[in-house]
Amino acid sequence: MKIPFDIAGAPAEFRRSPHTGRAELRVGDDVILLQSPYQPSGWFEFRSRRVWRRQVGEHDVEIVKVRSMFGGGGPQSYTISVDNTVVAEATGM
């Protein structure tokens, strides 16, 4: 899953691999690891909602993943906000 968006005019991208569970935020040449494939929570999680919050420069970035109540096999919805404003939404794996 790749979701492009901007942070104050700078190109950014959220990436998550459904195969490894790795999630990262890319801003320019910088890569911010949000979830490692080596963390058990990347593979097995009871919560249906996961939130990642990071500060990029002077901007607050929040990424929310909501998975189906029927397990991890279905599509997941993602909402990305910068400074409390939704800048991107997507559904996928």
- Per the rule left: phi > 0, alpha: psi between -120 and 50, beta: everything else, 81 is beta
pLDDT per residue as tens digits for the range 1-40: 899 999 999 999 999 988 888 899 999 999 999 998 876 6
pLDDT per residue as tens digits for the range 31-59: 999 998 876 655 556 678 889 999 999 99
Write down the domain spans for the chain.
2-92
DSSP assignment of 12-25 equals EEEEE-TTT--EEE
Q: Which residue has the tokens 């397990």?
A: 71
Q: What is the CATH number of domain 2-92?
A: 2.40.128
pTM of the model: 0.85
Pick 76 or 15 by higher pLDDT. 15
Say how far apart CA 82 and CA 91 lie, in whole Å: 18
